[in-house]
Structure 1
Amino acid sequence: MSLTSALNTAQSIFNNTGTQSSVVSTNISNSSNSDYVRRQAMITTSLNGAQVVKISRAQEDALLKQWLKASAQDSGQQTLLGGLTDLKSIMGGNDYETSPANYLSTFREKLQAFRTSPSSTIAAQSAVTAAQDVANSLNDATKSVQAVRQGADKEIATQVSTLNTLLAQFKTANDAVKSATATGGNPADALDERDKLLKQISSIVGVNAVDRDNGDMALYTTDGTVVFDTIPRTVTFVAQDTYTTQTKGNAIYIDGVALASGKGSTSTAQGSLQALLQVRDDIAPTFQSQLDEIAKSLVTMFSETGGAPATTQPGLFVWKTAVGTPGGTPTAAGVIDGIAGTITVNAAVITSQGGDPMKLRDGSISGLTNLNPTGKSGFSDNLDALYTAMGTAQTFSATAGLSSNVNIMDYASNSIGWLEQYRSDATTASENTSAALSRSTEAYSNETGVNLDEELTLLLDIEQSYKAATKILNAVDEMLKSLLDIAS
């Protein structure tokens, strides 16, 4: 080997180790960055010696797509579980102590105590107070359910705004990737940025990423709607200021196409938006319908009939229509939207409002009739009939999602059971999606993440190469000195 060749070899080593050291240092400094993909200096050997030909990126498209799918599913499932947990908290938590079912049970017990002591004013007032608790629990539950719906609506608006911002940023990153690819530059940083944005987008709305020529990428929802194709497609949504039982939430549109909501306790939602739609438009309204059916049944069950010709009017429990007028005894088979939010106890039996609780015993609350015209203190026929009615099967609307031929006590309990079963199944599903995401994250990280042990080992190898180059340089230096000494 000539001295010139030796010098060229040493210079090549210095150049290579300098580039390699820079790449390894960058890797080490980003070891805790989950959005960074490991780089590696690729060296090839030719007649001119070894040289770095490119900086490669440990890209794993298949694992990334699997991660995106797992992320979208987990985001949707966790969002659904959060909504169900909010609904459960309305009922008082694990023991459901503030649920209508709990207050109904207490009311029936007080009614039983009143029927065994029909002359007791205290027993009468206790029964009326228990009835007020039932009405208040239905009122409060309705308000809370609508608050959950409104909260979901506001969150949808926030996430739609975030999604539009992310898509705009995605265009910038995608353009940077295309530009670097077209000019032969290094698109690694732009690819990292684009992948980071893609991860955030997938947690909001599940997307399929399609690679195209020149490093370009297009995004589609799982049902084929275009989310990004050269330019971001507009995502639109109009939020509602307030929510009542009659309020219908607005749809989310991506490129003019309505986004479907998730279905089932193991939700089909891909991303949080579809799960929020499911909570707002499916689960919460169904639970509200069950509350309305309980209220409707109470009004009907405690209504009184009398007069000539015979008419039926609400007795112990009264309610108001959507326009604020007093409602009559329900006769239609369907759900009366919002009745649970307006049901109250008739002022005719509330002592503090000038009423007489004994009217419950006599069946004279509405004023249509008096089943105890002689005022017998031991009269209990009406109380017996009301108590029995609470244990008698009734027909409920099938659209509320529960068995339609049960007594009101069982129906209220079944409503809690429906919510708890839904939440329990969603919890199990959320554990599965969380585990799947964890495995996908681990697999993706193992292939693309930075391993400090490997990087430090590589750094030691680079150090050895550098030392070898310095030895070659020292040897050449000694030879040149010897030649100069001979020449002098």
Structure 2
Amino acid sequence: MSLSGALSNALSGLTANSRAATLVASNIANATTESYGRRTLELSSRAAGTSGGVMIGGVVRNTDAAVIADRRFSDAQSGFANDMQSFATRIETLLGESDAPGSLNSMYAAFENALTAAASDPSSTQRLKTVAHAAQGFATTLNTISDSIQAARTDADRSVSAQVSSLNTGLARVRDLNTAIADGATRGGDPSSLMDERQRVIDEMSAIVPLRAVARDNGALALYAGSGTVLLDPSIHRDPVEIGFQPHDPVTAYTTLENGFLSGLTIDGKAINSSNSGLLGGGTLGAQLQIRDTVAVDMQGVLDGVARDLVERFGPGGPDGTLSTGDPGLFTDGGLAFDPTNEPGLAGRISLNALVDPEGTEVWRLRDGLGAATQGAVGDASRLLGYSDALSDLDVPGSSSLGSGASSFGGHVTDFIAAVSAARVRADGEQSFTSARHTALKELELSKGVDTDAELQDLMQIEQHYAANARVMSTVDDLMQTLLSI
């Protein structure tokens, strides 16, 4: 080998060593950076007929596509479970622990106990006022729970709007990054940083909707929802789909997707199934739609059924014989008689009849009847006892949301509380399972990322190779100086 050939050989090695050292430094600096792909240098021998040496083929970004795909699906499943658990916990906390002051169960118990105490001394105005206060407190608790359920639906509607906006923005950014990566690859540049950014953008969207990425020409990626729906595919069309949604604020018991008052999702202007089992379900977007349109609606329906049962037990035909058909009973629908065709949202409107306002002077009507012209015998406890019996009677509820079995009013309250608690327990279990799986996949992904110990070992080898090439160049320099001095 000639001296110039040896010099060229060593120079190519020094160039490769310098580039490799830069990549190792970048790997170590970004060892904990999300979405960073470990870089390695692609080297090959120079073509035959040359003086030898190495040629840099490019920078390779090392990732495990299969692990990333599984982790992204886990992002969506974990996001769905977290949102459902948060909602279930929110409602259970609102109901309160059974024996906690202000809880639904304790407020109902206070109403029952107040009726019993008043029946033992019906002449006591103070005990009658206690009944009125307890009845009003229980109705107010139903109002609060109903309002909170609708507030949760409103929050879910806002979240859907924000997530749809994030999806559209993210898809547009992936499209632009696909273009930039393709341009960089065509010019022979290193698009690794752009690929890192693209992975980060996709990862941000993966909790909203389960995503699958499919490689296309020139380093581009196509994105598909877990259902197989095309979201972005440059081989089909340059632009991503446009996901549409119209928020509605506030959401009330009257407004549902089913009756057309709330917006569903669209793709490129075409309506799609907007449930969690639809084309874009499976992640946090599906969870918020599930809360807004199914879980919270069903919960409101049961609560309205409980309110209706209470209204009807104390209405005309009940223990108060002074009431005529069409009169509001002890519990009213916003001060009016309840209309069975207007059940939705009743729990938010139920109120104590103003005739027995605890701050007024006519609480004696609890004892003598809401329609009584004058006070009756102060020792007559029959109507108060009738109220207690009305709560404990096993009646078939008028609301279909409570089923068709006969039950006491207390049974309906207990069943509602138990159902909410059971939903929270199920949500806890699902959250624990998805969280454990997500953590395992995340750790597996990280294990295939940057290993700083291995990078430092590589750096030591690079240093040795650099020193060897430098020694060759120094030797060639000495030989050339010797030749020149002859």
Written as runs of structure 1 = structure 2, the 5 A alignment for 1:41-80 is 41-46=41-46, 47=48, 48-80=52-84
Contact 1:390–1:407 under 8 Å retained in 2: yes
Partner secondary structure for residue 43 of structure 1? strand
Written as runs of structure 1 = structure 2, the 5 A alignment for 1:334-483 is 336-354=343-361, 356-362=362-368, 364-365=369-370, 367=371, 375-396=376-397, 400=401, 404-447=405-448, 449-483=449-483
Equivalent AA in structure 2 for residue 344 of structure 1? S
Q: Report the counterpart of residue 316 of structure 1 in structure 2.
A: 330
Q: Distance in 1 between matches of 2:164 and 2:98?
A: 33
How far apart are 1:294 and its partner, in Å? 1.6
Q: Distance in 2 between matches of 1:53 and 1:351?
A: 87
Q: Distance in 2 between matches of 1:123 and 1:54?
A: 88
Structure 1 alignment gaps of length 5 or more: none
> Any idea what the Cα deviations from partners look like across 1:350-404, whole Å, max 9, x if unmatched?
25334x2222122x21x1x68xx99333322222222122112232367536674
Q: Distance in 2 between matches of 1:389 and 1:235?
A: 52
Q: Distance in 1 between matches of 2:114 and 2:228?
A: 59
Partner secondary structure for residue 434 of structure 2? helix
Equivalent AA in structure 2 for residue 165 of structure 1? T
Contact 2:308–2:398 under 8 Å retained in 1: no
Q: Report the counterpart of residue 294 of structure 2 in structure 1.
A: 282
Written as runs of structure 1 = structure 2, the 5 A alignment for 1:123-142 is 123-142=127-146
Contact 1:286–1:401 under 8 Å retained in 2: no
Q: Against the structure 1 CA distance between its residues 209 and 396, is the aligned structure 2 distance closer, same or farther, given a 3 Å change threshold?
A: farther
RMSD: 2.6
Please point out which of 303, 309, 314 is paired with 1:302: 314
Q: Against the structure 1 CA distance between its residues 102 and 400, is the aligned structure 2 distance closer, same or farther, given a 3 Å change threshold?
A: farther
Q: Report the counterpart of residue 13 of structure 1 in structure 2.
A: 13
Q: Against the structure 1 CA distance between its residues 19 and 96, is the aligned structure 2 distance closer, same or farther, given a 3 Å change threshold?
A: same
Give me the TM-score of the superposition, normalised by structure 2: 0.89
Q: Against the structure 1 CA distance between its residues 399 and 375, is the aligned structure 2 distance closer, same or farther, given a 3 Å change threshold?
A: closer
Equivalent AA in structure 2 for residue 440 of structure 1? L
Equivalent AA in structure 1 for residue 298 of structure 2? T
Q: Report the counterpart of residue 174 of structure 2 in structure 1.
A: 170
Contact 2:214–2:221 under 8 Å retained in 1: yes
Partner secondary structure for residue 395 of structure 1? coil
Q: Distance in 2 between matches of 1:304 and 1:273?
A: 46
Q: Report the counterpart of residue 205 of structure 2 in structure 1.
A: 201
How far apart are 1:311 and its partner, in Å? 3.1
Contact 2:13–2:53 under 8 Å retained in 1: no
Q: Against the structure 1 CA distance between its residues 203 and 153, is the aligned structure 2 distance closer, same or farther, given a 3 Å change threshold?
A: same
Q: Against the structure 1 CA distance between its residues 45 and 303, is the aligned structure 2 distance closer, same or farther, given a 3 Å change threshold?
A: same
Equivalent AA in structure 1 for residue 34 of structure 2? S
Equivalent AA in structure 1 for residue 461 of structure 2? D
Equivalent AA in structure 1 for residue 312 of structure 2? T
Q: Distance in 2 between matches of 1:331 and 1:386?
A: 21
Q: Report the counterpart of residue 244 of structure 2 in structure 1.
A: 236
Matched, 1:252 2:260: no
Structure 2 alignment gaps of length 5 or more: 257-261
Equivalent AA in structure 2 for residue 276 of structure 1? Q
Contact 1:79–1:276 under 8 Å retained in 2: yes
Q: Distance in 2 between matches of 1:290 and 1:278?
A: 17
Partner secondary structure for residue 394 of structure 1? coil
How far apart are 1:458 and its partner, in Å? 0.9
Partner secondary structure for residue 311 of structure 2? helix
Give me the TM-score of the superposition, normalised by structure 1: 0.88
Contact 1:292–1:340 under 8 Å retained in 2: yes
